[in-house]
């Protein structure tokens, strides 16, 4: 994902951004292509940045492929829990 800074001079775009603070907006271009303009909160931004972390994504992909599990009784025994 790329971040683009919008100049204060671009009044039309800034008006759309103001409206997007209130509700999500679908923008349709002259050729019919549609885009969504929505305010992102910190959590959504954090998710996007996390998805860009290639090392973490590789780790998660590897873990998702694991099928072997450890029975609860074995974990309790390893931890000394009855």
pLDDT 10s digits, 38-59: 887 767 777 887 888 999 999 9
pTM, 2 dp: 0.48
pLDDT 10s digits, 4-31: 899 999 999 999 999 988 888 999 999 9
Domain containing 48: what range? 11-65
**Is 2 inside any structural domain?**
no
**Is 42 inside any structural domain?**
yes
Backbone dihedral angles phi then psi of residue 75, each to the nearest 5 degrees: -65, -45
**Is 72 inside any structural domain?**
no
Domain count, the chain: 1
- What number of helices (H) and strands (E) belong to the chain? 4, 2
**Is 37 inside any structural domain?**
yes
**Is 75 inside any structural domain?**
no
């Amino acid at each position: 994902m790329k971040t683009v800074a919008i100049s204060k001079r671009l009044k039309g775009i800034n008006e759309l951004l103001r409206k997007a603070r209130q509700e999500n907006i679908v923008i349709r271009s002259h050729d019919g292509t549609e885009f969504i303009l929505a305010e992102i909160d910190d959590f959504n931004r954090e998710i996007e940045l996390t998805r860009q972390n290639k090392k973490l994504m590789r780790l998660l992909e590897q873990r998702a492929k694991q099928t072997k599990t450890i029975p609860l009784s074995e974990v309790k025994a390893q931890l000394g829990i009855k």
